[in-house]
Amino acid sequence: MRFDRIQNNFKNINIVSNVNPQQNEYLWGNVELIKWRAFDGKELEGLLYKPENFDSTKTYPMITYFYELNSNEIFRHYSVKPSRSVINFTFYTSNGYIIFVPDVKYGKGHPGNDAYNCIISGVKELIKNNWIDKNHLGLQGQSWGGYQVAYLITRTDTMFAAAMAGAPVSNMTSAYGGIRWESGQGRMFQYEKGQSRIGYNIWDSLSLYIENSPIFGANKIKTPLLIMANDGDGAVPWYQGIEFYMALRRLEKPAWLLNYNGDEHNLSKRPNMLDLSIRMKDFFDHYLKDSPAPEWMEKGRDAINNK
């Protein structure tokens, strides 16, 4: 980051300082606000992050990340650091990825379809551009976003070459009767009145809970999936990740489960954050850049010693 002193005529410039010169080593990327129409006709906004050396004559793999509304964060700066749960936009654009961050707008009773309406419409609009490699598309989300990743791949066939879901709720019918382990609060409010937006109790509208639960569509999944579910998660019961992983294993689908023992909903231990960052990059590089599969994907491997 350089600070310059200039005169009123903007002709004479003197360099005052050059803070953090190591930042010049990164291709920080550029971001722009884009607009499109959802399948239901509503106008939506989102952010598109491109590599700093973007060349429209080349093609780039694209990862779509989402969580509620993000277009108002267009001026947010993302420093390069190990991830607690989500992809680092700066790190990935610096490594030749395009990142799409769509806004998602919801109604009542159908959060899964609302996500499909907003997110997939945006992806389909973007892949009309020749500089996006439509054969190398990825999805990534955490918590509420992780749930939607799990849901979307039950409906998108082979559209996405890889997906990563952190702390996903995969089965609303089993999660409904649980608690938030950190607070002890019952989870029923989450579905009846909260973020999950079902709007009814499970006895009055069981069909909505089944419709919006990815586990009941697991047999339709054709996208390789990386799951993170931590046993110290105080918000989402980690057995939700286990349920989904076991379903995919039973169906002989390509899936991997990461569990950082004792760590939280969003990782708090730096060695675990580093480990997750490496594994997510390995995973996406393999499926979106055709890099060789790392050993842990083929044979499994314990997390690095974090004691």
pLDDT tens-place string over residues 8-63: 666 666 777 777 787 777 778 999 999 999 999 999 999 999 999 999 999 999 99
Superfamily of domain 2-299: Alpha/Beta hydrolase fold, catalytic domain (3.40.50.1820)
- pLDDT 10s digits, 141-190: 999 999 999 999 999 999 999 999 999 999 999 999 999 888 889 999 99
Burial label for 275, CB within 10 Å (0-12, 13-18, 19+), is: buried
What's the whole-number mean pLDDT along residues 197-216? 98
Q: Beta-carbon neighbour count of residue 17 at 10 Å? A: 9
Q: How confident is the model at residue 222 (pLDDT cuts 50, 70, 90)?
A: very high
**At a CB cut-off of 8 Å and minimum separation 6, what does 57 contact?**
131
Cβ pair 265, 236 in contact under 8 A: yes
What's the whole-number mean pLDDT along residues 67-77? 94
Torsion sign over Cα 286, 224, 294, 94: positive
Q: Residue 273 phi/psi, 5° resolution? A: -60, -40
3-state secondary structure at position 143: coil
Q: The pTM is what?
A: 0.92
pLDDT at 17: 74
Cross-strand bridge partners of residue 162 = 138
The two structure tokens encoding residue 84: 């607690």
Q: What percent of the chain has pLDDT over 90?
A: 84
> In which region does residue 141 sit, left (phi positive, over 0), alpha (psi from -120 to 50) or beta (all else)?
beta
For residue 58, what are the CA distances in angstroms to 90, 116, 132?
A: 19, 28, 8
Residue type, 58: K
Residue whose pair of structure tokens reads 């006709």 in the numeric block:
41
Alpha helices in the chain (DSSP H): 89-94, 111-115, 121-126, 144-152, 172-175, 188-192, 206-211, 239-250, 270-288, 295-299
Is the pLDDT confidence value at 271 over 70? yes
Burial label for 21, CB within 10 Å (0-12, 13-18, 19+), is: exposed
What's the whole-number mean pLDDT along residues 53-80? 95
